[in-house]
Amino acid sequence: MDRGAVPREELIEEIRRFMRRVGVEEAIFFGSRARGDARPHSDLNLLLLSERYEGQPLSKLLPELQQEWKLDLHLQLLPCSPKEFEEMQEWNSLAREAAEEGVRIHVDRDHEETIE
């Protein structure tokens, strides 16, 4: 399948599976793939929210998380705590974009899912 042709709903399903693999209950899917205007080589932008990421260096988190991504799309990933995310919105344009336009995806411990 053409990498650019993965339907948005399939991407959301893969994000849910990824969230379960890495033990995260909340994520924000944003950028061109979330909006539906991606090009074939566009990356997938995903912000993972978890208290356990607070103060953790990205150099440690990213390789571990990237290993669990199974789809053949480049994943642009930002793991952070909810508090860090709030603070980041003041100086980081990607964090602002995620907050303003992103699709919030929730997976609870019982695997019930919601999308906002």
Q: What is the pLDDT of residues 14-23, one digit of tens each?
A: 999 999 999 9
Q: How many CB atoms lie within 10 A of CB 43?
A: 14
- CATH (residue range 3-115): 3.30.460.10
Global confidence as pTM: 0.88
CB 83 within 8 A of CB 72: no
* pLDDT digits 0-9 by tens, 49-60: 999 999 999 999
> CA-to-CA distance for 33 and 109, rounded, in angstroms?
27
Instruction: Summarize the confidence of residues 27-44 as an average pLDDT.
Output: 92
Instruction: Summarize the confidence of residues 34-52 as an average pLDDT.
Output: 93
